[in-house]
Amino acid sequence: MSCAQTVEEIAPLFDYCRWNSQLADLSKQYAENSPLPHVFLGDFLDADVAGAIAQEFPCAHTEAWIQYKHHNENKLGMAKRELFPPRLGRVADELNSPRFVAWLSQLTSIPGLVADPSMEGGGLHQSGRGGFLNLHTDFSHHHYHQNWRRRVNIILYLNDGWQPQWGGAIELWDSGMKQCFSKYPPRLNHAIIFNTDDRCFHGFPEPLTCPESDTRKSLALYYYTVEQDSKTAPRSTNYRARPSDSATESAMIWLDKTAVDLYSRAKARFGFSDEWASKILGVISRKK
């Protein structure tokens, strides 16, 4: 590689030739994975590209991060594309491009998928020691495009040297919240793609035990279909307790879920931003 060349000029951001050759088999696997259509893909990007974007992932201590810190989650988020480092931004653009979305529609057998360049609720996510995300189903419609129905999630993990004992594996649970049927570790350059609806409970509910110097890092992108005559009412993020959770913990999860629902409704109606909520959470956190 010459000094004038970038990683992207040597390797494609997403190797369509490689993944198209596997598309028929992957689509079959996706549909047959029960009870939730999904796939977990290793070496999702070229290794050099993945390594480069992992290295430039923003530090957790910058002010650009939004705090998602309440009873049901403890993580940081960054959805504004203009704040992304250069290579990470180009990868996000590629995964939101018409060409990639067409590939994703074939993989999932969901026609008419559209990307969300604003990355509402998604983008870069980061959780440090003690971070967690309780089990939940996702909000069903875009907060600012009420006829956009959320259909598919992609989470690309960017954790170089992550150790299994630190936790952080994404858990997929059945619709009745009886048991976890799949767990996938957040390994560098691995991506999970899955349908999202009111039956898809997922999260990483156990607090991370990674060193203070490490964080669980990911790029999360959400895809929608535009519903002309949707009869489905918008649904907020639905957190649920595990069978092993105490009665007190279950009650706290429910109360916090109710507060999140009220905020989501206000956000959709009045156009509140997560940056505004993050500032309030930051003040509350500092007063504790």
Would you give per-residue pLDDT tens digits along the chain (288 residues)? Answer: 444 444 444 457 999 999 999 999 999 999 999 889 999 999 999 999 999 999 999 999 988 999 999 999 999 999 999 999 999 999 999 999 999 999 999 999 999 999 999 999 999 999 999 999 999 999 999 888 889 999 999 999 999 999 999 999 999 999 999 999 999 999 999 999 999 999 999 999 999 999 999 999 999 999 999 988 766 778 899 999 999 999 999 999 999 999 988 877 776 666 666 665 555 444 444 444
| DSSP for 264-282, written as a single string | HHHHHHH---HHHHHHHHH
| 8 A C-beta contact, residue 183 and residue 207 | no
Nearest to residue 24, comparing CAs of 136, 106, 129, 131? 106
Rounded to an integer, what distance in angstroms lies between the CA atom of residue 241 and that of residue 235? Answer: 18
Handedness of CA 267, 270, 273, 276 (dihedral sign): negative
- Assigned token pair, 46: 């070229």
**In CATH, what number does 28-287 get?**
2.60.120.620
Per-residue model confidence (pLDDT) at position 1: 40
Rounded to an integer, what distance in angstroms lies between the CA atom of residue 282 and that of residue 276? Answer: 10
Per-residue model confidence (pLDDT) at position 276: 52
Alpha carbon separation from 268 to 39, 92, 229 (Å, rounded): 31, 25, 19
Q: Is 5 exposed, middle or buried (0-12, 13-18, 19+ CB in 10 A)?
A: exposed
Per-residue model confidence (pLDDT) at position 86: 96
Per-residue model confidence (pLDDT) at position 48: 94
| 8 A C-beta contact, residue 219 and residue 158 | yes
Domain boundaries, the chain: 28-287
Q: Is 58 exposed, middle or buried (0-12, 13-18, 19+ CB in 10 A)?
A: middle
Indicate the residue type of 238.
Answer: N
Task: Characterize the bridge pairing of strands 216-226 and 180-184.
Answer: unpaired
Indicate the residue type of 167.
Answer: G
List, in order, residues 6 or more apart from 281 with CB less than 8 Å away: 67, 68, 69, 70
- Assigned token pair, 209: 């035990």
Rounded to an integer, what distance in angstroms lies between the CA atom of residue 75 and that of residue 126? Answer: 6
Per-residue model confidence (pLDDT) at position 143: 84
